[in-house]
Amino acid sequence: MSTPDLNLLVTLDVLLAEGSVARAAQRLRLSPSAMSRALARLRETTGDPLLVRAGRGLVPTPRALELRERVRQLVQDAEAVLRPAETLNLKHLVRTFMLRTSEGFVESFGPDLIGRAGAEAPGVRLCFVQKPNKESTSLRDGTVDLETGVVGNTTGPEVRAQALFRDRVIGAVRAGHPLSQGEITPSRYAAGRHISVSRRGLDKGPIDEALNPLGLEREIVTIVGGFSSALALARASDLIASVPERHTGALRAGMHSFPLPIPTPEVTISLLWHPRQDADPAHRWLRGLVLDACAAMR
């Protein structure tokens, strides 16, 4: 069975609306002979005369009358699919967005982001999910709309990225901790009892690499999988947590924070999404919202 020529739907729509080969030809900018050939093809395809002569004009057959509204709707739907998206009406937008974020992002940026979204689009709901790894699978398969994090080797090559802010590691201790007073030197920092933050359970990292040339080594008392756990332990003990500054602003409330006395690299935190979402007006709006919320917290 051959595939029907869907271009004939437009021709049929105009013919049934005009009831005249000449007027339909003029409307579609075709010659009368080309329109007559198109009508012949339509008759062959549908198995119905569609338009028959009555005096000097043409009248639709019962089959043509039956098809007229259906064809009109099909053509309108096709035109809607092929035209650019209409202006986004945020007040009527109803949608749930999935955001996969690094730990601390929700606590630090979530309240402002949720507030902005609610004010502009009351029907939008933001769903934050944990980020157990750096793979791009969830962006690729569409289960996640946006992600925040550092672009790395495991980030899919097709993934779009836009920088949100730069972050650095700082130290955090409970209020009244010995390190909350006086100058913090590399040896004084290293002599404390430390918490290592590692999703893979590692007890060494960039901080230890920076201490090695100075002949210093940290005592790692415990290893935890996230920043909030590290800060909760440090808040209730004399342990030292070393965490990203901007990611943990809200989590460190009431604690004493200090710059590390050793050089450690800053990292760029980016907003990540799949290119299939590039042209979606609602997704573009959400990306702008995240950028604004992060910029406001600088």
pLDDT of 186-202, one tens digit each? 999 999 999 999 888 88
Domain 92-163+273-296 in this protein, CATH class = alpha beta
Provide the pLDDT for residue 171: 97
Share of the chain above pLDDT 90, in %: 51
Which CATH architecture does the domain made up of 7-82 adopt?
Orthogonal Bundle (1.10)
Statement: residue 2 has pLDDT above 70: no
- Name which of 130-144, 210-224, 275-289 the model is least confident about: 130-144
How confident is the model over 221-229, as a mean pLDDT?
A: 93
- 84 pLDDT band, cuts 50/70/90, is low
Domain boundaries, the chain: 7-82, 92-163+273-296, 169-265
Provide the pLDDT for residue 214: 96
How confident is the model over 151-164, as a mean pLDDT?
A: 84
Quote the CA–CA distance of 48 and 62 in Å, as a whole number.
Answer: 9
169-265 has CATH 3.40.50.1100 classification: no
Statement: residue 163 has pLDDT above 60: yes
pTM of the full predicted structure? 0.68
Same fold: 7-82 with 169-265: no
Q: To the nearest whole number, what is the mean pLDDT of the chain?
A: 89
Provide the pLDDT for residue 85: 62
